[in-house]
Amino acid sequence: MTDISASLVASLRSRTGVSILECKKALEEANGDEEKAIELLRKRGIAQASKKAAREQSEGSVFAHEENGAAALVFLKCETDFVARDDNFKALGQELAETLCKEGTEAAQALAESKLPDAVQKLGENITLGEMHRIEAPTLGYYVHSNGKIGVLVGMDSGDTAVAKDVAMHAAAMNPEYVSPDDVTTEAVEGEKNIWKEQLAKEGKPAEIMEKIMLGKEKKFREESALLTQNFVKDPSITVEKHLNGATISGYVRISVG
């Protein structure tokens, strides 16, 4: 008889939603062939999740947790907003965020592997673990929008949590892709330059001032794309960097559903 490893059983359980005992039995009968084991389980009418595994998950919710100098953000994916609003789905997402925060990525992934198959069977949709992020910093702030569709983590080297949360709320609203203007990629700038060149050519701008205009547009694009140089939502007369009052952002993550 083929030796059936625990990881192979876990993989089959994740794909089918069937109990560990039934998965092990099917794998033994299939001599370790996972696809044959799935076929056996389907014939017995007990495989559920495998039928849903290919279905698209365009919905879900973001969950956050902060504790002991660490904060975590988890995106749990599903097929419909109806399931995303289910209390069982929310409880699982929050448990994953807490586990990630306290114990790290491996523990969160292990928890997902053990609990997702049952969630799939109970809620009747394909449910998978999406993005996971964990930040450690002296000062932390997070924000999850009331509908669970946007979540932000901010870590700072100093300052207070109220400022960090302010910045997280700002990022949720304004969607900066980068922390600093210097972080904006060359690819992103070049893509915009092609558009600017076409626009300026149509406007008939003289060649001698084109370069100066392009430099100005690039500076503005970098500043508008970066968290630090955006006008602060709560007080547009200052930038986010000014609101930090000397603190430095050491970690930044934003997750958006859809």
Comparing CA positions, the residue from 113, 107, 105 lying closest to residue 131 is: 105
Express each pLDDT in 148-185 by its tens digit.
999 999 999 999 999 999 999 999 999 999 999 999 99
213-223: average pLDDT: 94
Residue 206 has pLDDT above 90, yes or no: no
- Here the CATH number for the domain that contains residue 107 is 3.30.479.20
- The residue range of the domain holding 107 is 55-136
Residue 45's pLDDT band (cuts 50, 70, 90): low
pLDDT-derived band at 15, boundaries 50, 70, 90: confident
14: CATH: 1.10.8.10
Reported confidence tier of residue 46, pLDDT bands at 50, 70, 90: low
User: What's the predicted TM-score (pTM) here?
Assistant: 0.76
Given this model, what pLDDT does residue 200 score?
A: 85
Percent of the chain with pLDDT over 90: 63
Q: Are residues 19 and 66 in the same domain?
A: no
102 occurs within a structural domain: yes
Residues 71 and 103 in one domain: yes
The tokens describing 122, both together, are 């109970």
Looking at residue 149, its pLDDT comes to 96
Considering its fold, how many domains does the chain have in total? 3
Res. 49 pLDDT band, cuts 50 70 90: low
Whether 190 is covered by a domain: the verdict is yes
Both 202 and 214 in one domain: the answer is yes
Tell me if 162 is assigned to some domain. Answer: no
Q: Mark whether 35 and 78 lie in a shared domain.
A: no
- Domain end, chosen from 97, 116, 136, is at 136
Boundary residue ending a domain (136, 163, 198): 136
